Amino acid sequence: MHLQDATWTDADAVETDLAVLPVGSTEQHGPHAPLGTDVLTAEAVADAGVERYDGEVVVAPAVPVGIAEEHRHFTGTLWVEEDTFRDYVRETVASLAHHGWDRVVVVNGHGGNIAALREVCARISRHDDAYAVPFTWFDAADAPDMGHGGPVETSLLQHAHSDLVREDRLDEAAADGADGWGEWVSGVNLAYDSAEFSENGTVGDPREGGADRGEELLDDASEALSTLLSRVAERDLSDRR
Amino acid sequence: MHLQDATWTDADAVETDLAVLPVGSTEQHGPHAPLGTDVLTAEAVADAGVERYDGEVVVAPAVPVGIAEEHRHFTGTLWVEEDTFRDYVRETVASLAHHGWDRVVVVNGHGGNIAALREVCARISRHDDAYAVPFTWFDAADAPDMGHGGPVETSLLQHAHSDLVREDRLDEAAADGADGWGEWVSGVNLAYDSAEFSENGTVGDPREGGADRGEELLDDASEALSTLLSRVAERDLSDRR
Amino acid sequence: MHLQDATWTDADAVETDLAVLPVGSTEQHGPHAPLGTDVLTAEAVADAGVERYDGEVVVAPAVPVGIAEEHRHFTGTLWVEEDTFRDYVRETVASLAHHGWDRVVVVNGHGGNIAALREVCARISRHDDAYAVPFTWFDAADAPDMGHGGPVETSLLQHAHSDLVREDRLDEAAADGADGWGEWVSGVNLAYDSAEFSENGTVGDPREGGADRGEELLDDASEALSTLLSRVAERDLSDRR
Amino acid sequence: MHLQDATWTDADAVETDLAVLPVGSTEQHGPHAPLGTDVLTAEAVADAGVERYDGEVVVAPAVPVGIAEEHRHFTGTLWVEEDTFRDYVRETVASLAHHGWDRVVVVNGHGGNIAALREVCARISRHDDAYAVPFTWFDAADAPDMGHGGPVETSLLQHAHSDLVREDRLDEAAADGADGWGEWVSGVNLAYDSAEFSENGTVGDPREGGADRGEELLDDASEALSTLLSRVAERDLSDRR
Amino acid sequence: MHLQDATWTDADAVETDLAVLPVGSTEQHGPHAPLGTDVLTAEAVADAGVERYDGEVVVAPAVPVGIAEEHRHFTGTLWVEEDTFRDYVRETVASLAHHGWDRVVVVNGHGGNIAALREVCARISRHDDAYAVPFTWFDAADAPDMGHGGPVETSLLQHAHSDLVREDRLDEAAADGADGWGEWVSGVNLAYDSAEFSENGTVGDPREGGADRGEELLDDASEALSTLLSRVAERDLSDRR
Amino acid sequence: MHLQDATWTDADAVETDLAVLPVGSTEQHGPHAPLGTDVLTAEAVADAGVERYDGEVVVAPAVPVGIAEEHRHFTGTLWVEEDTFRDYVRETVASLAHHGWDRVVVVNGHGGNIAALREVCARISRHDDAYAVPFTWFDAADAPDMGHGGPVETSLLQHAHSDLVREDRLDEAAADGADGWGEWVSGVNLAYDSAEFSENGTVGDPREGGADRGEELLDDASEALSTLLSRVAERDLSDRR
The answer to whether the Cβ–Cβ distance between F187 and D118 falls below 8 Å is no
The answer to whether the Cβ–Cβ distance between A11 and B60 falls below 8 Å is no
Q: Residues C31-72: pLDDT tens digits?
A: 999 999 999 999 999 999 999 999 999 999 999 999 999 999
Average pLDDT, chain F: 97
Q: Residues F218-236: pLDDT tens digits?
A: 999 999 999 999 999 999 9
Kindly state the percentage of chain F with pLDDT values over 90.
98
> Is residue A241 very low, low, confident or very high in pLDDT (cuts 50, 70, 90)?
low
Q: Residues D69-105: pLDDT tens digits?
A: 999 999 999 999 999 999 999 999 999 999 999 999 9
Q: Residues A173-183: pLDDT tens digits?
A: 999 999 999 99
The answer to whether the Cβ–Cβ distance between F26 and E11 falls below 8 Å is no
Q: Residues F85-112: pLDDT tens digits?
A: 999 999 999 999 999 999 999 999 999 9
Find the mean pLDDT for residues A121-136.
Answer: 98
Kindly state the percentage of chain C with pLDDT values over 70.
99
User: Chain F residues with CB inside 8 Å of D219's CB?
Assistant: none
**Do the two chains B and A touch, given a threshold of 8 Å on CB pairs and at least 3 pairs?**
yes
| Chain A nearest C-alpha distance from E163 (Å) | 30
Cβ(C20)–Cβ(C50) below 8 Å? yes
Give me the residue from E139, E187, E228 closest to A140, CB to CB.
Answer: E187
User: Chain B residues with CB inside 8 Å of C231's CB?
Assistant: 185-186, 190
Chains that touch F (3 or more CB pairs under 8 A): D, E
Q: Residues B17-35: pLDDT tens digits?
A: 999 999 999 999 999 999 9
Confidence at residue C61, expressed as pLDDT on a 0 to 100 scale = 98
Find the mean pLDDT for residues D40-45.
Answer: 98
For an interface test with C, the pick among D1, D2, D9 (most C C-beta atoms closer than 10 Å) comes out as D9
Give me the residue from C70, C231, C240 closest to B185, CB to CB.
Answer: C231
Residue ranges in chain E modelled with pLDDT below 50: none
Neighbouring C-alpha atoms within 13 Å toward the C-beta of A188 = 27
Which of D127, F68, F4 lies closest to E92, judged by CA? F68
Which of B86, B79, B187, B201 lies closest to B134, judged by CA? B86
Chains that touch C (3 or more CB pairs under 8 A): B, D
Confidence at residue B142, expressed as pLDDT on a 0 to 100 scale = 86
Which of E50, E26, E27 lies closest to E107, judged by CA? E50
Which DSSP letter does residue E168 get? G
Count of other CB atoms within 10 angstroms of residue A163: 8
Which of C107, C112, C30 lies closest to C67, judged by CA? C112
E positions 175-204 inside 8 Å of A (CB): 185-190, 192-193
Residue A40 — φ and ψ, nearest 5°?
-60, -40
Indicate whether C110 pLDDT > 90.
Answer: yes
The answer to whether the Cβ–Cβ distance between A26 and B3 falls below 8 Å is yes
SS (H, E, C) chain F: CECCCCCHHHHHHCCCCEEEEEECCCCCECCCECCCHHHHHHHHHHHHHHHHCCCCCEECCCECCCCCHHHCCCCCCCCCCHHHHHHHHHHHHHHHHHCCCCEEEEEECCHHHHHHHHHHHHHHHHHCCCEEEEEEHHHHCCCCCCCECCHHHHHHHHHHCHHHCCHHHHHHHHHHCECCCCCEECCEECCCCHHHCCCCCCECCCCCCCHHHHHHHHHHHHHHHHHHHHHHHHCCCCCCC
Confidence at residue C241, expressed as pLDDT on a 0 to 100 scale = 55
CA distance F10 to F21: 18
CA distance F77 to C46: 53
Give me the residue from E83, E126, E187 closest to A136, CB to CB.
Answer: E187
For an interface test with A, the pick among E186, E232, E239 (most A C-beta atoms closer than 10 Å) comes out as E186
Confidence at residue F239, expressed as pLDDT on a 0 to 100 scale = 65
CA distance F119 to D82: 8
Whole-structure pTM value: 0.98
Cβ(D61)–Cβ(C39) below 8 Å? yes
Cβ(C228)–Cβ(C113) below 8 Å? no
Hey, is E174 helix, strand or coil? helix
CA dihedral A136, A138, A139, A141 (to 10 degrees): 120
CA distance F46 to F109: 10
> Is residue D206 very low, low, confident or very high in pLDDT (cuts 50, 70, 90)?
very high
Cβ(A141)–Cβ(A224) below 8 Å? yes
| Chain F nearest C-alpha distance from D203 (Å) | 20
Q: What are the residue ranges of helices labelled H in E151-210?
A: 151-160, 170-176
Neighbouring C-alpha atoms within 13 Å toward the C-beta of E53 = 29
Which of A178, C6, A224, E224 lies closest to D29, judged by CA? C6
> Is residue F238 very low, low, confident or very high in pLDDT (cuts 50, 70, 90)?
confident
From residue D194, how far is each of B83, D29, D175, F236 by CA, in Å?
A: 36, 11, 16, 16
| Chain C nearest C-alpha distance from B122 (Å) | 6
Q: Which residues contact F112 (CB under 8 A, 6 or more apart)?
A: F25, F27, F66, F67, F68, F70
Q: For chain F, how many residues are written? A: 241
Hey, is A148 helix, strand or coil? strand
Confidence at residue D239, expressed as pLDDT on a 0 to 100 scale = 65
For an interface test with D, the pick among C4, C7, C74 (most D C-beta atoms closer than 10 Å) comes out as C7
* F18-23 and F58-59 beta bridge pairing: parallel
- DSSP string for D20-35: EEEE-----BTTTB-T
Residue ranges in chain B modelled with pLDDT below 50: none
Nearest chain B residue to C232 by CA distance is: B190
Which of F94, F101, F91, F90 lies closest to F11, judged by CA? F101
The answer to whether the Cβ–Cβ distance between A91 and B98 falls below 8 Å is no
Indicate whether D113 pLDDT > 60.
Answer: yes
Cβ(C137)–Cβ(C195) below 8 Å? no
The answer to whether the Cβ–Cβ distance between E8 and F26 falls below 8 Å is no
Cβ(F180)–Cβ(F203) below 8 Å? yes
Confidence at residue A180, expressed as pLDDT on a 0 to 100 scale = 96
Q: Residues D162-205: pLDDT tens digits?
A: 999 999 999 999 999 999 999 999 999 999 999 999 999 999 99
> Is residue C240 very low, low, confident or very high in pLDDT (cuts 50, 70, 90)?
low
A positions 108-167 inside 8 Å of B (CB): 164, 166
The answer to whether the Cβ–Cβ distance between F119 and D118 falls below 8 Å is no
Rounded to 5°, the CA angle F109-F113-F115 comes to 130
Nearest chain D residue to C166 by CA distance is: D7
Average pLDDT, chain E: 97
From residue F40, how far is each of F34, F204, F227 by CA, in Å?
A: 9, 20, 21
Confidence at residue C142, expressed as pLDDT on a 0 to 100 scale = 86
CA distance C73 to C78: 11
Cβ(A226)–Cβ(A49) below 8 Å? yes
From residue E85, how far is each of B104, D146, E69, E220 by CA, in Å?
A: 36, 41, 12, 28
Which of C209, C100, C84, C234 lies closest to C156, judged by CA? C209
A positions 26-85 inside 8 Å of B (CB): 26, 28-36, 39-40, 58, 60-65, 72, 74-81, 84
Nearest chain B residue to A166 by CA distance is: B7
**Do the two chains B and E touch, given a threshold of 8 Å on CB pairs and at least 3 pairs?**
no
> Is residue F142 very low, low, confident or very high in pLDDT (cuts 50, 70, 90)?
confident
Q: Residues D122-150: pLDDT tens digits?
A: 999 999 999 999 999 999 998 999 999 99
Hey, is A13 helix, strand or coil? helix
The answer to whether the Cβ–Cβ distance between A187 and E134 falls below 8 Å is no
Q: Residues D217-237: pLDDT tens digits?
A: 999 999 999 999 999 999 999
Cβ(D4)–Cβ(C35) below 8 Å? yes
Q: What are the residue ranges of helices labelled H in C128-204?
A: 137-140, 151-160, 170-176
- DSSP string for B22-41: EE-----BTTTB-TTHHHHH
CA distance A169 to A178: 15
Q: Residues F58-79: pLDDT tens digits?
A: 999 999 999 999 999 999 999 9
From residue D19, how far is each of D219, D238, F72 by CA, in Å?
A: 20, 19, 29
The answer to whether the Cβ–Cβ distance between A91 and B79 falls below 8 Å is yes
**Do the two chains E and F touch, given a threshold of 8 Å on CB pairs and at least 3 pairs?**
yes
| Chain B nearest C-alpha distance from C168 (Å) | 32
- DSSP string for C74-115: STT-----HHHHHHHHHHHHHHHHHTT--EEEEEE--GGGHH
Confidence at residue E109, expressed as pLDDT on a 0 to 100 scale = 98
Q: Residues B196-217: pLDDT tens digits?
A: 999 999 999 999 999 999 999 9
